[in-house]
Structures are given as structure tokens and as C-alpha cells.
Chains A and B, each alone.
Chain A
Amino acid sequence: MEKYIDDFADAVITQMKTLPKDEIAKAISIIESVYERDGRIYVFGNGGSMAMATHWVSDFNKTVFSHNLDSKIKRFQAIRLPSTESEITAWANDVGFDMIFAGPLQNYIQEADCLIAISSSGNSPNIIKAVELAKSHHVPVIGISGFSGGKLNELADAKIVVKTEPGAYTVVESVHNAILHLLTSYFQDYFDYIVEKKKND
């Protein structure tokens, strides 16, 4: 049993030690520029990736500011796509499953915004539809993918790919979650600093 645990831990650690740092830095820069221009961040994925997207939204809409809940500083506007379960079934049932993200996104999307698309294969058709919609609006896309990155990695502006054998979902999703928490952690520190600086001005 211990070996099994070690092997899984090793697989995750190997990935964690070779994170695409430059692409993560690009993602941080994209999120900063969206914040500067009061844009919104749309985050989405299928299955476990959708659960991570939901978790990330609650982090970005609250945890990032949790040390400064009384401050009047401008906040993030993170939105999980779609924002209601009803929209998923409405689009899937009436139009097709490949439109469950792009359909609702079309209602919101503005040039000031950005996307975070999470897909282990990087090839889910519904993810790619939404990414293509964003690209047609020149909205920057942060692609968080696994395996060989797929089409998502080709299209994304920040290409965060956790390179593994095809099908290594558990390792890929574990690392995805760490990357998403890295973004949360960075911006929590960033806002602590901004609030402190405002106090001293």
C-alpha cells in the first residue's frame, strides 16, 4: 500500500516541480489586467473541472479578500459558466451539449473580460466552442489542460499544460487544483499588500 501511495505522490510531485512557470506568470498578468479594467473572469470545465471552477469562483469572490472584508477596495468579478444548473440543461436539451458554455458566455462577454478554461484533454468540444467565441472577441484565454494539451493549449493565450500520458486524470486534476490555488494565494497576498499600502498613503 505504501508504495502505491508513494507512486501517486511522486507522479504529482514530478509535475509540481516542472510547472510551466512562464505561462502561469502570463495568466497572472492577464488576471491583473482584467482587474485593472473592471472586467470579469469566466471559469468553466466539465465534471471534476467544473467542481474546481466552482471552488475557484468562491475563492476569488471572497477568499482573496478574506483578510480585508471591510475594505472598500475594488473586488474581482469571477463567474462560473454557466452560473445556474438550469442553463446547463436548457442549452444541452434544446441546442446541444457543445453549447453549454458558449451559449451562456455569449450573453455576458465583453472585451475587458478573460476566460479560464479547464480541460484535462484540452479537446472537449463544449470547452473549445467557448474558447473560440472568446477568441473571436479578442478576449484573452487562460487554458489549463493536461495530457498533451489538445486544442485548448493551441488556442490559449496562457498555455498552462500539465504534460502526462493520456488519461492520467487524477494526477492532472490534482495539479490543476494546486495551480488554481496558486492563483488564489498570489492575489490574496497581492490584495493584503494593496490594502496595507493604501493605509500608509
Chain B
Amino acid sequence: MIITRAPLRISFVGGGTDIKEFYSRYPGRVLSTSIDKFVYIVSHSGYSDSFILKYSQTEVVENVQDISHDRFKAGLVSHGIEKGIELASFSDLSSGTGLGSSSSFTVALVKSLHALKGKKINKETAARESCELEIDTLGHPIGKQDQYASAYGGLNVITFNTDNTVTVDPVHLDYKLRASFENHMMLFFTGITRSANTVLDDQKTKIDDNFETYKKMSDSVILFKEKLLAADFKGLADMLHEGWVMKKTLAKNITNSNMDVLYEAAIVSGAWGGKLLGAGGGGCLLFMAPLEKQNDIQISLEQKAKELSLGGFKRVKFGMTSSGVDILFNTSNTL
């Protein structure tokens, strides 16, 4: 039995510039951190003659082509894994939260499938193969930031170079600055889950129209890093807000009235600024706020969520982490 895990991520600035239609013309950049919420993949071989897959549903099938979970299927096919395998996924948060969990799943799966064959892969390979699986094999209209953020872990500037390579530069904060940064952030799950793909499809077709906006988003990563190292949290919040305003112009459906109502309520209650996490349409809201306002903000948002009948709305406490995809447990006897 093998257990792997890969972290979810919070992306601060530059999201969207990781799409090939953009970074093939100008380097894309994202600043993001992994957090202490994970997707786990457990793989077990030997006792059954079928493919057994356990996630929000359970599949027991004889033929790999009959698997309906697209990433499980693509992973098993590309690794040529025969019947007699049981795979299960567990997640600390539901999918569709805008925290990159779909790609965390793929990264943990890729790591696991290699380990099943006795092979250890590095972070770059885990990230690259996850991108290949999701973007090239499955044709999802997504970028590459989530796979790299999850495989590498930590707080990083991730650069998507025009030659298709990716550079991951860690941003080192001492524990005091990191703790202070964490304490000024508030993360809320809106209760609305969505697939990134519809929003991103629309966004991709409009790269030409919005090229200058994308450039600004990519360049803003450098200033964000400077402000972070200078502990200018108010300045960071302003940048998140600007990024969010810019992003809303890129495609329809990035925001909706519920998101806007919640966002406004947080600002009125004293948040400095924030953004929606993920491609848009639902997911999580991230705010930066002074410590003394956080209680008011939380009460106000919970009230608004009730009025909007958002049953799943809740605050998500999190910590920033340094580790990426890992094998936690492996019973194979090889050294």
C-alpha cells in the first residue's frame, strides 16, 4: 500500500497568466503558497481483478476504458497499470473551492502511480507530468500554476517561460513574518463549488483582447513579493483588490452577485481588500484585514451568507506550509 499527499494552494497574484496562449508570448508569473490542507491518494494492489476507484463515488470496472473519473482513467492508461488495482482519494476540503484541489489530486496520483512501479520522481517531474495529463491528455483549458504549486510546496514565485519551461523561486519568510502574514488573512468558503473549465474556456478565447491586462497581472507579482518582504499588508490587500478588479474584466461569470455582495460586506466591515480564489464563479474568498476587525468581518459575512442561503459558507482556518507532494507511507520492501 502507498499513501501520497499533495497540498492545496492559495494563489495571490498572477493567476491566469499561466495559460499557454499568454505565456508563449510573454512570461507568466504567479505568487502562491501551499497550505496545510491536502489531497491524499491511497493505492493498493493485489486482491481484486478489477479497477476499484473510491472518491465521492465508487467505481468497480473491468476495463480501464469504462472508468468514468477522467483523471484516474488517464493516469492508469498512461502508466499502463493493469487490473487488480484499488485507488482511493481523500481530501481535507471539497473540490471546486478554488484552492487548486483538482491538480493536487493529479499530482498525488502521478506520484503514487510511479511509486507503484517502484519509481521515485522529483517535484519537477510530478508537476510536469500532471500538466501533461490534465492539459495535453484531457484537454482541460487550465494553466500550469496549480500543478507546480502543489508539487513543489511552499511560498513561491512561479514563472511560466515562453519556451514552455517553468521556474520555481521560493520566497523565504522567517516564521515571524509568515505568522504575521497568516494572521492578517481570512479565508472563507462560499459554499458554491464550480468547475474552473467553463470560465477558463471563455477567458482563453479573449487573450488577444486583454493582452495588456495579462501583462500587468504578470508584472504585479514582482511588486507583490517586495511588499510582502516589507510586511506591507495593507499594500498587499490593495494589490489583491486591484488584481481582482482586473480579473473580473477578463471573462464573464468570473464573479456573480452573491460573490459581490459578500465581498462588499467584508470591505464595509473593515477588510483592506481581497479576492476570489480560483477561476471564478464560486469557491473561496480571501481577505486581508487588520486583526481587530476580523471578528466583525466574520460575523457580517456569516449573516450575509445566511441571507443569501449559502448553506455551506464557512471560515476556513489554514496555515502556510513548506512541503509539496510526498509519499507518506509505502509498504514495498525496496531500498
The chain A residues found within 8 Å of chain B, CB to CB, are 22, 25-26, 28-30, 32-34, 36-37, 106, 109-112, 137-138, 186, 189-190, 193, 197
Smallest beta-carbon distance B42→chain A, Å: 16
Stretch at the interface among B49-57, B171-179, B203-211, B302-310: B171-179
Number of A-B contacts (CB under 8 A): 48
Pull 27 A–B residue pairs with CB atoms less than 8 Å apart, ordered by A.
Answer: A22-B172, A25-B172, A26-B172, A28-B172, A29-B154, A29-B322, A34-B323, A36-B36, A36-B322, A36-B323, A37-B328, A106-B335, A109-B335, A110-B327, A111-B120, A111-B326, A111-B327, A112-B326, A112-B327, A137-B120, A138-B120, A138-B123, A186-B174, A189-B175, A190-B175, A193-B175, A193-B176
Contacts of A111 in B (CB 8 A): 120, 326-327
* Interface contact A138-B326, CB-CB below 8 Å: no
Inter-chain pairs besides A29-B154, A33-B322, A111-B326, 9 sampled, C-beta below 8 Å = A22-B172, A29-B172, A33-B153, A34-B323, A37-B323, A110-B327, A112-B327, A112-B328, A190-B175
Contact of A193 among B154, B172, B179, B335 (CB under 8 A): B179
Q: How far is the CA of A137 from the CA of B119 in the complex (A)?
A: 9
Smallest beta-carbon distance A185→chain B, Å: 12
Contact flags B171-203 to A (C-beta < 8 A → 1, else 0): 010111001000000000000000000000000
Q: Which residue of B lies closest to A21 (CB)?
A: B172
Q: Say yes or no: is B258 at the interface (Cβ < 8 Å to chain A).
A: no
The dominant DSSP class at the B interface is: loop
Smallest beta-carbon distance B266→chain A, Å: 23
Smallest beta-carbon distance B130→chain A, Å: 16
Contacts of A112 in B (CB 8 A): 326-328
Task: Give me the 8 closest cross-chain CB pairs, A-B, nearest first.
Answer: A25-B172, A33-B322, A33-B323, A32-B322, A138-B122, A190-B175, A36-B323, A111-B327
Contact of B121 among A22, A138, A190 (CB under 8 A): A138
Smallest beta-carbon distance A159→chain B, Å: 14
Which one of A109, A111, A137 has the greatest number of beta carbons of chain B within 10 Å? Answer: A111
Q: Which of chain B's residues 114-136 have a Cβ closer than 8 Å to chain A?
A: 120-123
Q: With A112-B326, A112-B328, A193-B179 in contact, do A33 and B120 touch (Cβ < 8 Å)?
A: no
Contacts of A36 in B (CB 8 A): 36, 321-323
Q: Say yes or no: is B141 at the interface (Cβ < 8 Å to chain A).
A: no
Contacts of B323 in A (CB 8 A): 33-34, 36-37
Q: Which residue of B lies closest to A107 (CB)?
A: B335
Q: Which residue of B lies closest to A106 (CB)?
A: B335
Q: How far is the CA of A37 from the CA of B324 in the complex (A)?
A: 9
Q: Which of chain B's residues 262-283 have a Cβ closer than 8 Å to chain A?
A: none
